[in-house]
Amino acid sequence: MSLRYPCGSASHQLARRSFLGSLTAGAGAVAGGMGIFTSPHISAAMASQQKRIVVFNMHGGLSQLESWDPKPGTETGGPFLAIPTSVPGIQICELLPNTAQQMHHLALIRGVNTSENDHGKGRYMMLTGRKQNPALQFPEIGAVAARTLTPEDSALPGHIVITPGGSGGRGNDSAWLGPRYSSVQLGNGNPPPNTTLPEQLSADSDLSRQDIRRRVNERFLNRRRTAVTEAFTYSFDQAEKLMSRRDVFDVTKESAADTERYGVNDLGRHCLLARRLLENGVSFVQVSHSNYDTHNENFNFHIEQLGEFDLAFATFVADLADRGMLDSTLIVVLSEFGRTPTINRYYGRDHWSNAWSVCMAGCRAPRGAAYGVTNDKGTEVTDEQVDHGNLFHTYLQAVGVDSTGSVMVDGREMPIADPASHPIEGLLT
């Protein structure tokens, strides 16, 4: 067993959960079970405990050997050193010096084996927890999080993907959960487009226009209410609410010092935007960083790419910890697969899914942990092997969602995670 983290004491575990436990006990003593939540202090505390997920998607296939599981001094290790971290005994690649200082918040999963070397199929498996099925599409983790974690009255979308060039459109990633939970795709640190009133339209005129729309909609829905019409109505209502919260998406509201701390580049701005969204109650944010598909010049590309990532990611983790948000926010760093231990003739690494790494932090993930072991050359997992299905279950369990549960869709029970798989108990505190 290689799971190591500094504090597993009963008092530490109690401190993380005692507040919610006391609320549950108190609520049971009130007639109807809800009277206690009328206190503004308790309501605010409950809001701060809303669980959230942020995924860093390292498009193309981040090399585990140049990040979480270095093998220096071996024929497969490449030119970089392994460096100490803030957790004694755990080392990561020297390309991540800032992240190394946040290791006491992180959990490394070094024994991932998904046995899928195709970009599209690998991405699908890592985001849905299932293999592709031509007969049925499955919802991505963001859609499941939006469905299970977002309050009904939220003014903001529950599923946001931030990527360079994101246009503000909706993704096609919610499958049978329905379009209500599909992603809103943003980019460049800007608010969604078309979220301000035209100059020639006054606020009073817009209120009248929206009132007419609602009345016409209700009249129509009374006769022809379907899932599609419900989603259509919801989209309008959410867009109206979103316009009132437009400033949440504007990273120019952040200080110049914060912008500098995260890095003056797309990823820095996107991480800063992700922090703003999480602070304002968005349940799921995915931040994309690419391109790690380094068949050529793997080492030079990783110097450049991880230079951006290291600063932005380490600052993001530190900020969430300083704000007391890590107990309620799960952070995941994933790819569609890793890179080959073998270095090809172009000084690159090719696709490799048999032994690679994922990083987690926050919620029920253990702090300062390393789980799973690969052999000395990084060619295979030798202990505590996991796959995409295990990881998907674990992410949901980490934020308090029963991953063995189902959602009713048109009278049919649809499991939210692969029922043939299970969570990784060693990664849940």
Query: Do 381 and 288 have their domain in common?
Result: yes
Question: What pLDDT was estimated at residue 25?
Answer: 36
**What are the tokens at 213?**
């729309």
The predicted-structure confidence for 343-366, as pLDDT tens digits, reads as follows: 999 999 999 999 999 999 999 999
Query: Do 101 and 213 have their domain in common?
Result: no
408 in any annotated domain: yes
pLDDT class for 196, splitting at 50, 70, 90? low
Domain containing 375 — which CATH number? Answer: 3.40.720
For residue 264, pLDDT over 70 is answered with yes
Lowest pLDDT segment from 7-21, 86-100, 111-125, 400-414? 7-21
Question: What pLDDT was estimated at residue 206?
Answer: 67
Last residue of a domain, one of 249, 265, 296: 249
Query: Do 104 and 213 have their domain in common?
Result: no
For residue 202, pLDDT over 80 is answered with no
214 in any annotated domain: yes
Specify which residues 220 forms β-bridges with.
Answer: none
Query: Do 219 and 350 have their domain in common?
Result: no
Query: Do 155 and 168 have their domain in common?
Result: yes
Question: What pLDDT was estimated at residue 32?
Answer: 32
The predicted-structure confidence for 135-192, as pLDDT tens digits, reads as follows: 999 999 999 999 999 998 888 899 999 998 776 778 999 999 998 899 999 876 566 7
Last residue of a domain, one of 226, 249, 272: 249
Query: Do 185 and 225 have their domain in common?
Result: no
For residue 36, pLDDT over 60 is answered with no
Query: Do 238 and 317 have their domain in common?
Result: no
What's the rounded mean pLDDT across residues 223-242?
Answer: 66
- Angstrom distance (rounded) from CA 408 to CA 380: 40
- Angstrom distance (rounded) from CA 365 to CA 426: 9
Query: Do 416 and 290 have their domain in common?
Result: yes
> What total of structural domains would you count in the chain?
2
Phi and psi, residue 86, nearest 5°: -75, -5
Query: Do 162 and 301 have their domain in common?
Result: yes
Residue type, 238: Q
Last residue of a domain, one of 230, 249, 268: 249
Query: Do 276 and 214 have their domain in common?
Result: no
Q: Is the pTM of this model over 0.75?
A: yes
**What are the tokens at 125?**
């498996």
206 in any annotated domain: yes
160 in any annotated domain: yes
380 in any annotated domain: yes
Query: Do 238 and 320 have their domain in common?
Result: no
Question: What pLDDT was estimated at residue 30?
Answer: 32
339 in any annotated domain: yes
List the domain range (segments joined by +) for residue 205. Answer: 192-249
406 in any annotated domain: yes
Query: Do 183 and 302 have their domain in common?
Result: yes
**Higher-scoring residue by pLDDT: 9, 413:** 413
